[in-house]
Amino acid sequence: MTSTLRRAGRRLRAVVGLAVAQLRRSPGRTALTVFAVALAVLSVTLLASLGVGVVQTGEDGLDNADRDIWVSSDPIDPSASGTANPIVGSHALAAEMSERDDVSSAAPIAMHDIYVGTESDELERTSAVGVHETHDGFGFEEGGGFETEMNHSSGEYADGERPSEPENEEIVLDPDTAEAHDIDVGDTVYVGTSRESAANHEFTVVGISAYYSQYLGSDTETIPLTDLQAIAGTTGTDRATFITASVEDDADRDVVVAELDEEYAAYDVRTSDEQIGAMFEEQPLVLASGATLIGLAVVGGIVLTVNLFALVAYQQRDELAALRAIGLSRWVLAGTIAVQGLVIGVLGGILGLVLTPLLAAGLNYLASSVIGFGKLLQTPLEVYLLGLALAIVVGTVVALVTGWRASRYARIQHLSG
Amino acid sequence: MSNHALRQTTASDDDSSTDDVESPTAVRLESVTHEYGANGGRGRSGDDRTVTALRNVSFDVRAGDIVGLEGPSGSGKSTILHAVSGLLVPSDGAVELLDTDLTACSNRERTRLRRRHVGIVFQRFHLLPSLSARANVALPLVQAGIPRAKRRERAETLLEKVGLGDRIHHLPGELSGGERQRVAIARALVTDPDVIVADEPTGELDTATGEDVLDLLMDIGRDRALLVASHDESTLAVADRVVTLRDGRVVSDGG
């Protein structure tokens, strides 16, 4: 038994030696296939890092907003919800929620498309988010923010007597918008939801920040909610896109969410984590594109490597048949080709993993200089493990397929001459 | 390592007997008939275009015999060599290798018998281009699980024997045709077989190189059974006996 094992061990070592010898004699082919596997691994690790980074960035954003609970209605589609604002009577709803003992505060957020410009006949279409205040971590490039009354549904405003004209008339502009119109802090701009109405409303630029632009992917200005509702004419219906709420420190967030969800069945009540998930679910195209890219890269890497080695097996079919004829078993012959595939898989995997942090850093630099995100790609240990697993899977698939092809050639029929 | 069963028997026979004691039979073909397409060809019915390669072929080869196989292309020379090596099982008849009927053996048994007792020399050498001469020669020993140091030692000894002691690290691409065939002969001998089959061993070589290779084959194959298939008169001239084939039949058995 032990001698059988010893012989098998020697055979295995010899097979590995043969495979390595073959790889070393064809450095060009070896490099190409290692590169192919590395590309497949890289595409997975980088896209996964991007996914992790985007979710993390989103969560950080929501954390900055310091809101535990997000209430929305209907699917959140940024391209449509800017005008849809499906929550009606939002201030009353927020007030009702904040009356609970376990909720410390609640406030609506609205989104609208607006026109903004320094001249009433030179207006640019852009987006606006209406909030009651610009919170901490807003990242002002210049100037500061604004703060309005937390909840316009309390006290004298409770009966829908909110001002129907803008009262604060302050705006925080996106840097691109400010630059395009050569606007500085302290300047006055026209703001409206249509070209005609914009001339009627003059706002003072109090700050410049890209905070909401980052999340919405387009230039976005920030306006006090009541002012935005006033210029949009939704003061009466009191429309909003979200209601955000914070829970008391000693309250269990998940319990509050569950209770609110039950109480307000018409709305979707989510924790901030779930909200991120829901936002991504609303982007099936993005997710599908990512999955497709990964799939293509993996399949491409496997196909290229398998093809190259199948070609090698085909080129050497006479030799394989001859070796079979002189008594080498099919397993030994298939093994020499298969081990080459496995070695390629592992080498490519290692290369891919080594390149991952370098390329991630490069892409992060690019992302921060182009769109202003600091750390868009984040690569936790799990992503590296995923890449390594993929490399081993690719190596094994390559090994199985090419070994099988090689063993098919190891037949007397291929022995010519 | 020695698989060479017959040499020892012959040697002991020689010690105790006179010169004309007959050597044991290494290979025997008994009424061998083979039709291609009859038992192969997946998805093809047996009577659909079968080609009869051998018809009722019988002859035997004793240890120490050099038997030439002559005949035009398609006369069945290669089929006989393949049958003797157990690479194919004839449709009818028996092929005995060292008194074992190959037609009664399983695939695995035939492979083992071939590995232990048959050395094959091909017309086109069939060396692995990425392996050194030494590694090519040592390849058949891999299957037996022989340790690397021993494999190398054996391969080097044989390469020296075929006059390539200074070429052991060369790749096939760095060797001439004659040198490659010498490497192939060394590979055929590495398991110390009883029977050597050579299919047109000088077919790819010029006359002078061919003669050198032939001399080597004669010299090394001296106490083994050697079957050489060839078109070439000078190759066949070294045989003790020439079996002539036409359309799969033996038309003349030199013995």
In the predicted model, is pLDDT for residue B45 greater than 50?
no
Among chain B residues, CA nearest to A3: B145
Give residue B159's pLDDT band: very low, low, confident or very high (50, 70, 90). very high
On whether any CB of chain A is under 8 Å from the CB of B150, the answer is: no
When mean pLDDT is compared across A393-397, B70-74, B234-238, the lowest value belongs to A393-397
Domain ranges of chain B: 23-250
Contacts of A7 (CB under 8 A, 6+ apart): B144, B145
The tens digit of pLDDT for each residue in A395-404 reads: 777 777 777 7
Q: Check residue B246 and give its pLDDT.
A: 92
Tell me which chain A residues have a C-beta less than 8 angstroms from the C-beta of B53.
Answer: none
Tell me which chain B residues have a C-beta less than 8 angstroms from the C-beta of A13.
Answer: 148
CA distance A288 to A284: 6
On whether any CB of chain A is under 8 Å from the CB of B222, the answer is: no
Which among B127, B128, B146 is the nearest to A10, CB-wise?
B146
Among chain A residues, CA nearest to B41: A413
Q: With an 8 Å Cβ cutoff, are A7 and B145 in contact? A: yes
Amino acid at residue number A234: T
Are A195 and A115 spatial neighbours (Cβ–Cβ below 8 Å)? yes
Q: With an 8 Å Cβ cutoff, are B188 and A326 in contact? A: yes
Q: With an 8 Å Cβ cutoff, are A18 and B126 in contact? A: no
Q: With an 8 Å Cβ cutoff, are B124 and A416 in contact? A: yes
The tens digit of pLDDT for each residue in A93-128 reads: 888 888 888 888 888 888 888 899 988 888 888 889
Topology of B23-250 in CATH?
Rossmann fold (3.40.50)
Location of structure tokens 């659909």:
B48
**Phi and psi for B153 in degrees, rounded to 5?**
-60, -45
Contacts of A400 (CB under 8 A, 6+ apart): A338
Q: Mean pLDDT in chain B?
A: 84
CA distance A140 to A162: 29
Task: Kindly report the nearest CA distance between residue A302 and chain B, in angstroms.
Answer: 24
CA distance A363 to A375: 9
In the predicted model, is pLDDT for residue A386 greater than 70?
yes
- How many Cβ atoms are within 10 Å of B47's Cβ, its own excluded? 9
A vs B, Cβ pairs < 8 A, gives: 89
Q: Check residue B11 and give its pLDDT.
A: 44
The tens digit of pLDDT for each residue in B114-143 reads: 888 999 988 888 888 888 999 999 998 988
Contacts of A298 (CB under 8 A, 6+ apart): A40, A43, A44, A390, A394
CA distance B198 to B209: 16
Location of structure tokens 């037996």:
B144
Q: Report CA-CA distances (Å) from A88 to A85, A238, A239, A263, A295.
A: 8, 6, 5, 16, 43
On whether any CB of chain A is under 8 Å from the CB of B173, the answer is: no
Q: Mean pLDDT in chain A?
A: 80
CA distance A370 to A103: 39
On whether any CB of chain B is under 8 Å from the CB of A331, the answer is: no
Higher per-residue pLDDT: A236 or A4: A4
Q: Check residue A107 and give its pLDDT.
A: 83
The tens digit of pLDDT for each residue in B219-230 reads: 877 789 999 999
- In which order are the strands placed within the sheet that holds B241-246? B118-121, B195-199, B225-229, B66-70, B241-246, B249-253
Q: Check residue B73 and give its pLDDT.
A: 86
Burial class (CB in 10 A: 0-12, 13-18, 19+), A369: exposed
In the predicted model, is pLDDT for residue A412 greater than 70?
no
On whether any CB of chain A is under 8 Å from the CB of B191, the answer is: yes
CA distance B93 to A187: 107
CA distance A85 to A74: 10
Give the torsion through C-alpha atoms of A57, A58, A61, A63, to 10 deg.
-100
Give residue B14's pLDDT band: very low, low, confident or very high (50, 70, 90). very low
Location of structure tokens 């026209």:
A190
Share of chain A above pLDDT 90, in %: 6
Higher per-residue pLDDT: B49 or A251: A251
On whether any CB of chain A is under 8 Å from the CB of B200, the answer is: yes
The helix or strand, by DSSP H or E, that contains position A173, with its residue range, turns out to be strand A170-173
Q: Check residue B231 and give its pLDDT.
A: 86
Written as six digits, the tokens of B8 are 């020892």
* Closest among A291, A296, A314, A390 to A51, alpha carbons compared: A291
